[in-house]
A and B are shown apart, each in its own frame.
Chain A
Amino acid sequence: EAGVAQSPRYKIIEKRQSVAFWCNPISGHATLYWYQQILGQGPKLLIQFQNNGVVDDSQLPKDRFSAERLKGVDSTLKIQPAKLEDSAVYLCASSPRQGTNTGELFFGEGSRLTVL
């Protein structure tokens, strides 16, 4: 079974530029998550989708971050314009069901963003 795919793995941009990350979850997984992992910290949830609807985006900085999950499959996370503090690894995860209390999240390898 193929895992969660993410691209690009690495991206370097200058502040105020834009960047987009792509995620393809495990086939059949209804729930998709984007986490931000800043160096030295644990992952922080940015947004959760159930199929193609948003379940939780309370911690997404909506003035600069946006995400979509068209057709309930793959997803794109965009940052525009980027700030220095956006330097982090962006992790995509998927789960076969809604809610995470008894379920396991399957993570991709992440996309590392460096903002100069």
Chain B
Amino acid sequence: AQSVTQLGSHVSVSEGALVLLRCNYSSSVPPYLFWYVQYPNQGLQLLLKYTSAATLVKGINGFEAEFKKSETSFHLTKPSAHMRDAAEYFCAVSSGYSTLTFGKGTMLLVSP
């Protein structure tokens, strides 16, 4: 069985501030981990993915995430938030040949 827990349904930051979105996973086998972003009235778009290569993964739009096996975490960060980063972010896990299991999502709010 696999699952994802995203801490905080909403995160608010000021423009230029550090963004940190938390994700913890549970998996009985080595996981593959993903972050997706969803802008209003749009589908999901892949930000980045971890597939057992480097533990620090860089994605699009300046986002990155670090896989920490000891903490079963895959937190998403960005050094400096932009207004255009306001969206909903989903962490997802896949194990073996199973399909993606998504977390409940974290809404990122960016204020000027």
Contacts and interface: CB of A to CB of B under 8 A. Distances in A.
A45 B49 CA distance: 19
Contact of A42 (B49, B95, B102): B102
A104 B49 contact: yes
B56 interface: no
Interface stretch (B11-19, B37-45, B72-80): B37-45
B112 interface: no
A104 B104 contact: no
Interface residues of B, number: 24
A104 B44 CA distance: 11
Chain A interface helix/strand/loop/mixed: loop
Given A4-B43, A109-B41, A45 B32 contact: no
Given A101-B32, A107-B44, A109-B42, A40 B99 contact: no
Contacts of A44: 102
Nearest to A9: B41
Interface string B81-112: 00000000010101111111011110000000
Given A101-B96, A101-B98, A91 B43 contact: yes
A43 B99 contact: no
Interface of A: 4, 33, 40-45, 48, 56, 91, 93, 98-102, 104-105, 107-110
